[in-house]
Amino acid sequence: MRSIAKKYNLFFVLFTALIFYSCEKEIFTGVEDDKPKTNNRLYIESNPQKAVIYINQRNSGLTTPDTLKWMPDGKHTITIKHEFFIDTILTVNLSGGIVTNLNVDHYKNPGHMGRVFCQSNPDKADILIDDVPTNKKTPYTFSGIMPGMHKIKFTYTMHRADSINMPVIGGDLRTAYLFLDDTTKGLFYTPNNSPISTENTYVIAVDSSNIKWIGTEGQGVIRFDGRKWSVLNKDNTTMTSNIVKSLFVDKTNRLWIGLENGLFVYNGSTFINYSSQVNGKYITSITADNNGTIWVGAFGGLFKYDGATWQTYTHENSGLHDDFIYSVTVDKQNNIWVGTNGSGIAVFDGSSWRRWNMTNMGIGSKIGDIIHSVVCDKDGMIWAAHMREELQMGAIKSEGGISRFNGTKWSIISVPQINTQFIQSLHVDRNNHKWIATKYGLGRFDKLNTASIFTKVNAKLQSSFTTASALDKTGDLYITTIGGGLSKFRKGSF
């Protein structure tokens, strides 16, 4: 019985192994050799080089010149792609394991040349390509332009020349359009058309020699004497930052520079570092009172310098209710007016303090107690730029406005033409015009309080995000902007 069982078990094992072997053999595929049977080689070169090679609409990962190896027999579509030329598509028939050479010269194909349509405002401007005169005037379309980067330049009488670097693509029509500044009315200075190094200009001051000093967001201070430009920054001076938040020229023609981390004074040849006296704070505003005493507003308090000693005012040792200060100005009675970041306005007469805010101004509470700017005009009236922020539906909603104090009461100034929600600064010029720099343009009140607005649309500013303004000694208006560099309007054109 055991013998029969053993034979049966042996038979079962052999039968099972046979079935398992047969099944495995039936489903086994293994790894096939994916190397082509024929070793065809295709060498491809192009003029210019560095064109991307596609095989049968798939990127080979190779650029010219290079060799495609292990190409199977048969027809293949080869596409040559270059950034400045239209695609070249060729068909090759490979067989016999031979080496085939393929040479694509883009320059020999007239269809690979580019076209450029040149247009200017005003038209009839002379056209130069790569600084070579073409003897053509706008509007004009050039054909047969060699693909690649080209400098297109326009010149016109009584207008400032301007240029653009343009990629010309083979087989394509490109448009070069430039607005040429009318130099009889104004100029716009950007990195594209002047030595100015940034499009983000923030503050401006004019000294007694009519030199314009422009504080920037990241490039230090730019000096402009009307012809020449130069830059003062932490790379070529002792300044500790290139982010300039405030500028002021004192009665001795020294330039005070407020940075994001300190305070410096420049006398034309050397720098004095007063950063430690202001605790290395973020300096937002600098002015001088009627006695020549310097007052510095910062995110950290109010600082006073009488030429010999420094004094610090904070909420702990004075009538300030907020140490975050945006703006400082002086009225005709030598009172110091301080605009704060949420506590309204503090007024210091040298011995006592008074506070103005939404609770006691008598103008309601809508425009807010964040005071971005405060100035005194030629009539002795105080102008303040307000903002209020509140959280609504998970987002911060901002409102703002302008108030004016006539010495007795406050009133809200309605400006239908000007969006006053995001006022950056206020400026009173020598003609007693009030200038309002906002995110949406530069507003102006004239002597009759008639308002007007200068924007990218109606005044050709390079950006409507204006930050400050100033009149120079000749009466020209300079405007700093975020994203649009520096703008200049000649006297009589605004």
CATH number of the domain residue 97 falls in: 2.60.40.1120
Give the angle 423-305-348 at the CA atoms, nearest 5°: 60
CA distance 45 to 58: 18
Indicate the pLDDT class of residue 391, thresholds 50, 70 and 90: low
Position 27 pLDDT exceeds 60: no
Pick the last residue of a domain from 57, 74, 106: 106
Grade residue 22 by pLDDT with cuts at 50, 70 and 90.
Answer: very low
Q: Is residue 91 part of a domain?
A: yes
Give the structural domain span for 419: 186-489
Of 354, 388, 387, 358, nearest to 373 by C-alpha is: 387
Q: Confirm if 291 and 333 have CB atoms less than 8 A apart.
A: no
| The model's pTM | 0.70
Q: What's the confidence (pLDDT) of residue 418?
A: 82
Across 225-235, average pLDDT: 94
Mean pLDDT across 182-200? 86
Q: Output DSSP code: residue 111.
A: G
Both 170 and 191 in one domain: the answer is no
Residue 87 identity (one-letter amino acid): D
Give the model's pLDDT for residue 392: 65
Cα gap 250→328, rounded to integer Å: 15
| Residue 101 and residue 126 share a domain | no
For residue 2, is it within any domain?
no
d(CA 318, CA 336): 13
Residue 369 counted as domain residue = yes
Structural domain contains residue 5? no
Q: How do residues 443-477 score in pLDDT, each as one tens digit?
A: 998 877 788 899 988 888 889 999 999 999 999 99
Q: Within this chain, do residues 403 and 363 fall inside the same structural domain, yes or no?
A: yes
Average pLDDT over residues 276-282: 95
Most confident residue range from 44-48, 111-115, 188-192, 326-330 = 326-330
> 481 versus 28: which is more confidently predicted?
481
CATH number of the domain enclosing 163: 2.60.40.10
What average pLDDT does range 319-338 have in this prediction?
97
Neighbours of 276 (CB within 10 A): 10
Query: What value does the mean pLDDT take over residues 323-329?
Result: 98
75, 91, 106: which is the final residue of a domain?
A: 106
- Does 417 reside within a domain? yes
What pLDDT sits at residue 33? 47
What is the C-alpha radius of gyration for the chain, rounded to an integer number of angstroms? 36
pLDDT of the residue at 269? 93
Q: From CA 223, how far away is CA 229, in angstroms rounded? A: 6
Quick check: is 345 in a domain? yes
Residue 261 shares a structural domain with residue 296:
yes
The answer on pLDDT for 396 being more than 80 is no
Q: Can you tell me the mean pLDDT for 320-343?
A: 97
Percentage above 70 pLDDT, the chain: 91
Residue 87 and residue 69: Cα distance in Å, rounded?
A: 22
Query: Do 340 and 449 have their domain in common?
Result: yes
**pLDDT at residue 25 above 50?**
no
Residue ending a domain, among 156, 179, 202, is 179
Encode pLDDT of 197-213 as tens digits. Answer: 899 999 999 999 999 99
Pairing of strands 114-121, 99-105: unpaired
Q: What does the alpha-carbon distance between residue 414 and residue 417 come to, in Å, rounded to a whole number?
A: 9
Evaluate if residue 407 carries a pLDDT over 60: yes
What average pLDDT does this structure show over 166-181? 89
Please check whether residues 120 and 78 belong to one and the same domain. Answer: no
Q: How many domains does the chain have?
A: 3
pLDDT above 60 (res 24): no
- 182 DSSP assignment: B
- Within-domain flag for 271: yes
| 3-state secondary structure labels for all residues of 341-367 | ECCCEEEECCCCEEEECCCCCCCCCCC
> 51-78, pLDDT tens digit by residue?
999 999 999 889 999 998 888 888 999 9
Residues 73 and 167 in one domain: no
Same domain for 69 and 203: no
Q: Are residues 134 and 204 in the same domain?
A: no
Residue 32 within any structural domain of the chain:
no
Query: 228 and 270, same structural domain?
Result: yes
**In whole numbers, what is the pLDDT of the chain averaged over residues?**
89
Lowest mean pLDDT among 250-259, 294-303, 320-329, 388-397: 388-397
- Alpha-carbon distance of 468 to 461, in angstroms, equals 13
Same domain, 412 and 395: yes
